Structure 1
């Protein structure tokens, strides 16, 4: 049986951010903490050793695979900052085009620093992701 690797923990978000080595990245981590907290209304929680997540939902795929994940989140990684949003929403691409300097994978959006992006568009992406997940998983 599959064992989910990234689970919510009781580790301190502030302690994690304080241990981010790069001072500019630490400053951006705090800025994102404010943006995500204010936009979602959810408290920040650590997911695994390095993801700061907001809210929670339970997913179940047609394959039978299921688990819990944050509605949205981010991680101030050494190379880039990873932003985590829901996948599958067709409106996501238009918002990403207006976000600013970034690269995107299936679920992750990577930025170098908060100054490179439009924080209003970031808030719209956060809200869009939560709305999409609540519609997809109505038992939230």
Structure 2
């Protein structure tokens, strides 16, 4: 079985964030980092070269593949701030309706700027996702 490519690294998240350009994107990354740390109760940790994750859970698929992943996280990518909402979005329709300007993938929330979204709704979304993940998985 293939090994997960995205794993915790020894890269310092603060150093990574300090290098984010432009200034507004770095400020958005600092805001999200503080929010996710507060909500998760876990310090930031780099997962791979560009993802900042919080907490960890262990999963096992029906196929037998298993591994570890972050409970939540984000990456300040060039095209958008990518937030990893591991529980997905269908169970959070009411919150998503209030969120503001965004796009989604399966477990990714794409936001151009934090000023485009309702921060209260984002906080609710992250908290609800974390609660779901803690209920469903063995969390460390």
Normalising to structure 2: TM-score of the pair? 0.93
How far residue 89 of structure 1 moved from its aligned partner, in angstroms, is 6.2
C-alpha distance after superposition, 1:58-79 (max 9, x if no partner): 1111011111111011100011
Aligned partner of 1:68 in structure 2 is 68
How far residue 9 of structure 1 moved from its aligned partner, in angstroms, is 1.1
Where do 1:1-140 residues align within 5 Å? 1-88=1-88, 90-137=90-137, 139-140=138-139
How far residue 88 of structure 1 moved from its aligned partner, in angstroms, is 4.9
Alignment gaps of 5+ in structure 1: none
Normalising to structure 1: TM-score of the pair? 0.93
Extract structure 1 runs of 4+ deviating beyond 6 A.
none
- Provide the aligned C-alpha RMSD in A: 1.3
Quick one: distance in 2 between partners of 1:90 and 1:69?
20
Alignment gaps of 5+ in structure 2: none
Q: How many residues align?
A: 139
C-alpha distance after superposition, 1:69-116 (max 9, x if no partner): 110111000110001012356422221111111001111000001111
